[in-house]
Structure formats: structure tokens, C-alpha cells
């Protein structure tokens, strides 16, 4: 989605225009005394920015929610890997504890 030239409203800085979009960042130009600010995209739209165009706002929020779901899935995957590693380590420890010692023959 092309956000360049879209108007936004910031909770503190007021109205601005998106002048650049790069990966996960957007640059917004506000009034002269405020200048240009850089925000994380689409995260800034959760609390700080709101698009003037409702269609754009809805699409941005869809992207935000999709990104949040991906983050949650990645965190779950990492947690499962950690749990599996813990169980594996525990099983190895149990095996070393249970190894029978051989009695020496005289």
C-alpha cells in the first residue's frame, strides 16, 4: 500500500503528511515548528497516529494486527523450542544418573 502523501493525525504533533515509507519506518512532515518525525510502521498507528482516510486507516490496522499475530506465533515457537530443549536436557541428566556401574572382577 502506498502511504506517501497520506494525511495523518498525531496525538501530540497534530496533522501531518507521510513523506516517506521505508520497510518498517515512516517519515511524517508536521508543521514547520515540529518538523519531520520518524515512526515505526505500522506500530505507531496503534497509539499515536491515525490516517485521515478511513480506508487507509483500516488497511494499516489490518497490517498491524497481522504483524502482532506473527510476533505472537514466533514467541510461541521460541517457547516451545525452549521447553523441548529443557526436556531433552532433563532426559540426558536422568540417563546419566541411572547408568549402572559395573563391578570390577577380582
* Tens of pLDDT, residues 28-65: 999 989 999 999 999 999 999 999 999 999 999 999 99
| The dihedral sign for the CA sequence 99, 100, 105, 106 | positive
pTM assigned to the model? 0.71
* Tens of pLDDT, residues 73-96: 999 999 999 998 888 888 888 877
Q: How many helices (H) and strands (E) does the chain have?
A: 2, 5
Give the residue extent of every domain in the chain.
7-97
Amino acid at each position: 500500500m502506498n502511504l506517501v502523501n497520506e494525511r495523518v493525525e498525531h496525538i501530540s504533533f497534530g496533522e501531518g503528511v507521510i513523506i516517506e515509507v521505508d520497510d518498517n519506518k515512516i517519515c511524517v512532515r508536521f508543521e514547520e515548528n515540529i518538523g519531520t518525525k520518524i515512526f515505526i510502521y505500522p506500530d505507531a498507528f496503534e497509539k499515536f497516529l491515525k490516517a485521515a482516510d478511513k480506508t487507509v486507516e483500516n488497511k494499516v490496522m489490518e497490517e498491524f494486527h497481522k504483524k502482532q499475530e506473527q510476533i505472537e506465533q514466533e514467541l510461541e515457537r521460541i517457547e516451545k523450542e525452549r521447553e523441548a530443549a529443557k526436556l531433552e536436557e532433563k532426559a540426558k541428566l536422568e540417563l546419566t544418573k541411572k547408568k549402572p556401574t559395573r563391578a570390577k572382577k577380582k
